[in-house]
């Protein structure tokens, strides 16, 4: 290690300052201007989870001199930005949970599919948490369970949880141990409430869902890493209203829908986009019920958004 430099992990970002956890404690750090010049394709040159080298100054703050190579990252297209600009949500994670709720706000499979695509793009194992399961009644039980079965059947872990009733908390706690995990989803689905149920010492702020919009109100304003009392680290993220796809070409998208993979090599054309080409094995699998109509429709929606270069879709 170069003399005068110390290694650490970015565990909180507040925009202009980064809190870096080192062996000697937490150090508030800034980055040199050159970092932003070399990260023009990203909204921010650093993300929570980045491993960095810092130089500690006399006033006990630090300067980040180097960002070590990432093993992975979870990104989305930057909201309100031109096509091609990405927002790195987190870096260097072992597992990613997309969190949805049964109601208030209601389950959004389109958001889930976009999140899972981007997790597949960067090789991050992922799963689905359906929170607020205490709100499930006879009216919505079958639709909610249908989506739970759909994602479980294609190989993604699915957890049913209730921070209020304590349902699924022990299973979730065991899934967070001994790894760096990110939990992401729209505002109001209960990410912070789940973490408080898992580790009450965290005492994270929680919010309510807007009665007017039926959507969550932002409470978590910055991504931050929390160390859990029973082991493991979890990253709580600000609510994400939209999840735009980035770094995926139309002919690549099918490779990130896991149930398409067995059929891809059987298509007549090697660059098949699986929406109009003749002798497409994926379309045939849909027709034969091997791929669900819901995931097929979601694929087509994402494919069209990539072709059109929409700034952000998937509300």
Q: How far apart are CA 240 and CA 186, in angstroms?
A: 4
pLDDT-based confidence at residue 43 (cuts at 50, 70, 90)? confident
Which of 113-117, 160-164, 260-264, 305-309 is least confident?
Answer: 305-309
Interval 132-181: pLDDT, tens: 999 999 999 999 999 999 999 999 999 999 999 999 999 999 999 999 99
Q: How large is the average pLDDT for residues 249-268?
A: 97
User: In the prediction, which pLDDT does 34 show?
Assistant: 73
Across 223-244, average pLDDT: 91
Predicted confidence at residue 36, as pLDDT, reads 64
Question: Averaged over 246-267, what is the pLDDT?
Answer: 96
Q: Where in the chain is the domain with CATH 1.10.40.50?
A: 250-308
pLDDT value at residue 207: 56
Token pair, residue 175, equals 């899934």
- CA–CA separation, 45 and 38 (whole Å): 8
Q: Where in the chain is the domain with CATH 3.40.50.300?
A: 92-236
Pick the CATH number of 250-308 from 3.40.50.261, 3.40.309.10, 1.10.760.10, 1.10.40.50: 1.10.40.50
* Beta bridge partner(s), residue 167: 162
Residue 278: pLDDT band (50, 70, 90) is very high
Proportion of the chain above pLDDT 90, given as a percent: 76
> What pLDDT does 39 receive?
61
Mean pLDDT over the full length of the chain: 89
pLDDT of residue 313: 44
pLDDT at 16: 80
Residue range 27-42: mean pLDDT, rounded? 76
pLDDT of residue 215: 44
Task: State yes or no: cis peptide before 105, omega within 30 of 0.
Answer: yes
User: Which fold, 92-236?
Assistant: Rossmann fold (3.40.50)
> Region 40-65: what's the mean pLDDT?
89
- What's the distance, Cα to Cα, between the start and end of the chain in Å? 46
Give the DSSP letter string of 26-90.
EEEEE--HHHHHT-TTBS-S--TT-EEEEEE-TTS-EEEEEEPPPS-EEEEEPTTS-TT-EEEEE
| pLDDT on residue 101 | 97
The stretch 262-282 carries a mean pLDDT of 96
Give the pLDDT score at 89: 92
pLDDT tier, 202 (very low <50, low <70, confident <90, very high otherwise): very high
pLDDT tens digits, one per residue of 53-94: 999 999 999 999 999 999 999 998 877 655 667 889 999 999
**Total residue count of the chain as it appears in this document:** 315
CA dihedral 36, 37, 39, 45 (to 10 degrees): -10
At residue 218 the predicted structure's pLDDT band, cuts being 50, 70 and 90, is: very low
- Token output for 126: 């992922």
Per-residue pLDDT, 38: 62
The correct CATH number of 5-69 out of 3.40.630.30, 3.30.70.100, 1.10.10.10, 2.40.50.140 is: 2.40.50.140
3-state secondary structure of 194: helix
Separation between Cα atoms, residue 155 and residue 125, nearest integer Å: 11
């Amino acid at each position: 290690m170069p003399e005068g430099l110390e290694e650490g992990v970015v565990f909180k970002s507040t925009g202009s300052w980064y809190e870096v956890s080192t062996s000697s404690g937490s150090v508030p750090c800034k980055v040199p201007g050159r970092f932003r010049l070399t990260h023009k394709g990203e909204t921010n040159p650093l993300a929570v989870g980045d491993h960095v080298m810092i130089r500690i100054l006399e006033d006990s703050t630090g300067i980040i001199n180097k960002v070590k190579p990432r093993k992975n990252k979870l990104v989305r297209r930057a909201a309100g930005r031109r096509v091609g600009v990405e927002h790195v949500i987190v870096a260097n994670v072992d597992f990613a949970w997309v969190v949805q709720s049964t109601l208030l706000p209601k389950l959004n499979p389109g958001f889930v599919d976009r999140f899972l695509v981007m997790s597949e793009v960067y090789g991050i194992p992922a799963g689905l948490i359906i929170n607020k399961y205490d709100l499930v009644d006879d009216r919505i039980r079958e639709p909610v369970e249908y989506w739970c079965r759909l994602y479980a059947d294609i190989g993604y872990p699915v957890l049913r949880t209730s921070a209020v009733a304590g349902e699924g908390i022990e299973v979730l706690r065991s899934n967070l141990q001994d790894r760096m995990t990110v939990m992401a989803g729209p505002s109001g689905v209960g990410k912070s409430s789940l973490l408080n149920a898992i580790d009450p010492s965290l005492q994270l702020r929680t919010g309510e869902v807007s009665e007017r919009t039926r959507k969550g109100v932002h409470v978590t304003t910055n991504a931050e890493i929390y160390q859990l009392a029973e082991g493991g680290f979890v990253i709580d993220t600000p609510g994400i209203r939209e999840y735009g796809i980035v770094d995926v070409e139309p002919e690549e998208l099918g490779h990130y829908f896991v149930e398409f993979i067995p059929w891809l090599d059987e298509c007549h054309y090697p660059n098949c986009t699986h929406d109009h080409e003749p002798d497409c094995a994926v379309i045939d699998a849909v027709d034969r019920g091997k791929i669900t109509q819901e995931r097929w429709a979601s694929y087509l929606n994402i494919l069209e958004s990539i072709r059109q270069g929409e700034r952000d879709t998937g509300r």
